């Protein structure tokens, strides 16, 4: 795709539903009793993979007029799939479903695309095996495809070596079925959407600091869910608003759960002109509209506990840092290397190709801001977050940019280019 520079970005946009919450609403809806009606479901390829997996396990899921209705089967009502379950590009689908499959009365294979087959699954195989699960990497390389045969499980106390909501959620979902209590402690708090939704669906779950504990649960009960807009999709418009001159953009109804909203803290630290309006704390997931204007950004250090709360936004923050005065250091973010792509290496490579001063480190990047970006021929390497980040970079660069694999935005934001075009002033 050829992308040209923009003068500014102006107007308002409603970003699609949160990807993490959309996945969980289908998963919990499927293993709950009764009906779960999901409003604002993200119709991206990743969440559609989750729907498809549960349909293959006998769950009736309707998707009509913007509402997804899941006719739950109860905790023990899933049936054996007759084909391998295809998780596509989705790590969340693969890891969270593994936790559920570990306790079913059947055997299933989980697989996915080339990227999924390279991502680490040892991080869920280890704790689920400790619970008694029979889960194997078919090629014995610690990656999908996984063969999972349901077994009776027992609760564990697990000290997770990574702050990962996918790992935590896989264990908690298995914990619904496990005898006794299952406890996960993380080095830092990761997103807590699973815990919030499990509670909403009637599970016996509690959290204390970075520890979540669930007890074996007799039944979950379906409920109505309204999915807030995804802050991980909002970040692209927020960044464009900050780095392009004469810009003002209102991003409506964005989820600002504190375990997800590290971006807001970092934007503040960088001097961004970002205001939260219409804050709503009435549901289990808080929301706000984000009003963003052109900003004089300055460098900052991004590290420690804020990292898991903004892990998917870091590629875009690296772009913002190129337009900030001074140095920005991103550290403690080695997890970026095992996302849909190696996001440290590829963000650094693409930003450098556009003229930025970026040094890749073992666990992040060092960016010296202030060098103007120029158009370049770059690739998103089939990573949706790279595609959207570099579409924004192209708007703020001089000259045109050729972006390969631009269409992979369909993973999390199918209408991204349409929404962007509407806001751009050229």
Report if residue 210 touches ligand S3P, rule: CB under 6 A: no
Report if residue 49 touches ligand S3P, rule: CB under 6 A: no
Q: Is 385 annotated as a binding residue?
A: yes
Window of 161-169, 238-246, 251-259, 355-363 that interacts with ligand S3P by CB under 6 A:
161-169
The pair of structure tokens assigned to 154 is 């027992």
**Catalytic residue, candidates 46, 289, 312, 419:** 312
Q: Is 164 annotated as a binding residue?
A: yes
Give the CA count within 13 Å in the CB-facing half-sphere of 223.
Answer: 19
> How many residues sit close enough to ligand S3P to count as binding (CB under 6 A)?
12
Name the region of 313 (left: φ>0; alpha: ψ -120 to 50; beta: rest).
alpha
Q: Is 188 annotated as a binding residue?
A: no
CB of 166 to ligand S3P, least distance (A): 3
62-66: long-range pairs with CB below 8 Å, 24+ = 66/39, 66/40, 66/41
Report if residue 312 touches ligand S3P, rule: CB under 6 A: yes
- Which residues inside 313-352 make contact with ligand S3P, applying CB under 6 A? 335
C-alpha to C-alpha distance for 94 and 154, rounded to whole angstroms: 21
Q: Is 332 annotated as catalytic?
A: no
Candidates 225, 204, 234; CA nearest to 285 is 225
Candidates 220, 297, 212, 298; CA nearest to 259 is 212
Window of 34-42, 60-68, 165-173, 374-382 that interacts with ligand S3P by CB under 6 A:
165-173
Contacts of 140 (CB under 8 A, 6+ apart): none
- Which residues inside 90-129 make contact with ligand S3P, applying CB under 6 A? 92
Report if residue 166 touches ligand S3P, rule: CB under 6 A: yes
Q: How far is CA 92 from CA 148, 152, 208, in A?
A: 16, 23, 24
Window of 71-79, 160-168, 172-180, 206-214 that interacts with ligand S3P by CB under 6 A:
160-168
C-alpha to C-alpha distance for 425 and 40, rounded to whole angstroms: 28
Output the known binding site for phosphoenolpyruvate: 19, 91, 119, 166, 343, 385
Which residues participate in catalysis according to the annotation? Answer: 312
Which residues sit at the interface with ligand S3P, rule CB under 6 A? 20, 23, 92, 164-166, 169, 190-191, 311-312, 335
List the binding residues for 3-phosphoshikimate: 19-20, 24, 164, 166, 312, 339
């Amino acid at each position: 795709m050829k992308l040209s520079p923009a003068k500014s970005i102006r107007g308002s946009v409603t970003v699609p539903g949160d990807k993490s919450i959309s996945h969980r609403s289908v998963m919990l809806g499927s293993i709950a009793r009764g009906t779960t009606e999901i409003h604002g479901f993200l119709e991206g390829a990743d969440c559609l993979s989750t729907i498809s997996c549960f349909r293959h396990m006998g769950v009736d899921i309707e998707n009509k007029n913007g509402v997804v209705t899941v006719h739950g089967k109860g905790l023990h009502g899933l049936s054996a799939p007759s084909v391998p379950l295809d998780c596509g590009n989705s790590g969340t689908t693969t890891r969270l479903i593994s936790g559920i499959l570990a306790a079913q009365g059947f055997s299933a294979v989980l697989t996915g695309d080339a990227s999924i087959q390279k991502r680490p699954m040892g991080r869920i195989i280890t704790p689920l095996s400790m619970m008694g699960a029979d889960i194997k990497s078919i090629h014995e390389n610690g990656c999908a495809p996984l063969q999972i045969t349901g077994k009776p499980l027992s609760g564990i106390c697990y000290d997770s070596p990574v702050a990962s909501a996918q790992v935590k959620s896989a264990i908690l979902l298995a914990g619904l079925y496990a005898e006794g209590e299952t406890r996960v402690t993380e080095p830092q708090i990761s997103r807590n959407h699973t815990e919030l939704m499990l509670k909403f669906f009637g599970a016996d779950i509690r959290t204390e600091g970075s520890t979540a504990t669930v007890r074996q649960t007799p039944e979950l009960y379906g409920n109505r869910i309204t999915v807030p807009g995804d802050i991980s999709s909002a970040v692209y418009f927020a960044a464009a608003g900050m780095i392009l001159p004469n810009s003002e953009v209102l991003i409506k109804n964005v989820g600002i759960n504190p375990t997800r909203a590290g971006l807001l803290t970092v934007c503040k630290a960088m001097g961004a002109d970002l205001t939260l309006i219409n804050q709503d704390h009435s549901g289990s997931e808080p929301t706000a509209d984000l009003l963003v204007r052109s900003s004089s950004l300055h460098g900052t250090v991004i590290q420690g506990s804020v990292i898991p709360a903004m892990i998917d936004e870091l590629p875009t923050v690296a772009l913002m840092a190129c337009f900030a005065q001074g140095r920005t250091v991103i550290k403690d973010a080695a997890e970026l290397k095992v996302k849909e792509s190696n996001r440290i290496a590829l963000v650094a490579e693409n930003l450098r190709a556009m003229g930025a001063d970026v040094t890749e480190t073992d666990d992040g990047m060092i960016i010296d801001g202030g060098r103007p970006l120029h158009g370049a021929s770059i690739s998103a390497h089939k990573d949706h977050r790279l595609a959207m980040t570099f579409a924004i970079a192209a708007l703020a660069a001089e000259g045109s940019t050729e972006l390969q694999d631009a269409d992979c935005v369909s993973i999390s934001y199918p209408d991204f280019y349409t929404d962007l075009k509407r806001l751009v002033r050229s």
